[in-house]
Structure 1
Amino acid sequence: MKAALLLLSISSVGAWIAPASTFHRPSTTLYGSIAPKDFKTGLTIQIDGQPTKIVEFQHVKQARGAASTKTKFKNLITGNTLQKTVQASETFDPAQIDRSDAQHTYRENNNWFFMDSETFDEKMVSDSIVDDREDWIMEGMNVQLVEFEGKVIDLNLPSTMELEVVQTDPNVKGNSAQGVTKPATLECGATIMVPGFIEAGEKLLVDVPNKAYMSRAK
């Protein structure tokens, strides 16, 4: 009788103890999950363990053999660029990076300073990281900072901006020719090509990544 009660007690306790495998959580890291078909401009992957951004790419289809992708990469640690033909069978790990919204506050010598929009911490970004986007950044402008191991390695500007034209040649009256363009300097300092009918003082919608005129702002 005692033995039967003991077995019943052990059985009851066992019913409350989940097997060890129940608490196992599989890793969420998607190793080797990015293939050339998934490439996008600005996507950050790992090459040789370092965060590397896809600057531009072109898929190449061949009559015979596997497809490939001609790609220009930028190492976000060293700043070096690499041209490489990637085969369709190759895969890459996503870079483990952090992104945060920040506001540009001021510039001093070769450094740019931003305030984290959530923590209000000040973060410094060097000229080498800003690179050719210097003419697009204005005081008070919101950007996205990209960090790797606590260090800012890149920044992303808004894809579309509304900007005023501060200088451009006057429109020639009666000139209605299609495709006539001229340079225009924007309030941020950048210069883009605009249609001939655009005048100084007008506000435009601008495609920032392509540095191109989109339309007049409404």
Structure 2
Amino acid sequence: MTTYSGTSLKSGLKILIKNQPYEIQYSEFIKPGKGQAFVRIKLKQLLTGKILSKTVKATDVFYSTDVTEISTLYLYNNGFIWTFMNKKNFEHIHVLKKFLCGCEKWLINSSVCKIMLWNNSPISVQINTFITLRVQDIDIAIKGDTINSVSKRVVVETGASIQVPLFIKKGDFIKINTRLGKYISRINY
């Protein structure tokens, strides 16, 4: 296990605090005119996703954590467990729904995902920020109803529902921001 002092904490570093894995989002070294130097850090708790701020002494010691990211392909699910395949060695990785962080509504077969492992157990799944999906079903837009709403609800091939402009038709491919769950643009093939 690698050790780090408070002064060597940098963004992206993954450390253990009270036996929990954290990722450093931001760090700032401060040397006041009087007194001891310290470091302000913003941390993301990797198991829960909570963000917290902390001030540590420059001399405090932190240990690295065994967190790795692997590139995978989504295969299938049974409603409780989602199965992914490691792209390097073709092993299957089984992930509980609670670790999907809401990305399950955007997954289709062979979606590329990154799975974060801590002590060889999955703790989170991340998908691309922008994905392209086909429109499967559309709510009927009533002619002349554009005064009240300039969008309509559609269902994409994963079953997720999203608001889109009125010109989108069934079978169109649309680009979606998965972090916000919003329509970005229509894709012409």
TM-score, with normalisation over the residues of structure 1? 0.61
Bigger Rg over Cα = 1
Secondary structure of residue in 2 paired with 1:147:
strand
Quick one: structure 1 residues 53 and 200, their matched pair in 2 at CA, closer, same or farther if it must change by over 3 Å?
Answer: farther
1: CA distance, partners of 2:71 / 2:143 = 45
Quick one: which of 9, 18, 22 aligns to 1:33? 9
| SS of 1:128 mapped into structure 2 | helix
CA 1:50–1:88 in 2, change beyond 3 Å: closer, same or farther?
closer
Give 2:166's match in structure 1, choosing from 187, 196, 200: 196
The equivalences for 1:132-143 within 5 A come to 132-143=102-113
Tell me, yes or no, if structure 1 residue 103 matches structure 2 residue 87: no
**Partner SS state of residue 198, structure 1:** coil
Corresponding residue to 1:112 among 82, 90, 98: 82
Superposition map of 1:121-200 within 5 A: 121-173=91-143, 180-200=150-170
SS in 1 for 2:135: strand
The gaps in structure 1 that reach 5 residues or longer are 1-26, 55-67
Q: Is the 8 A contact 2:20 2:45 kept in 1?
A: no
Q: Distance in 2 between matches of 1:189 and 1:53?
A: 33
1:170–1:199 Cα contact (<8 Å) kept:
no
Change in Cα spacing, 1:172 to 1:197, as seen in structure 2 (3 Å) is: farther
Relative to the length of structure 2, the TM-score reads 0.69
- Number of equivalent positions: 170
Mean Cα deviation higher: 164-173 or 191-200: 164-173
Residues 106 and 114, structure 1, Cα contact 8 Å, conserved in 2? yes
SS in 1 for 2:103: helix
Any stretches of 5+ residues in structure 2 without a counterpart?
25-39
- Structure 1 residues 46 and 166, CA, compared in 2 at 3 Å: closer, same or farther? farther
Q: CA RMSD in A?
A: 3.8
1 or 2 for the larger relative contact order (CA 8 Å, sep ≥6)? 2
**Structure 2: distance between partners of 1:179 and 1:72:** 41
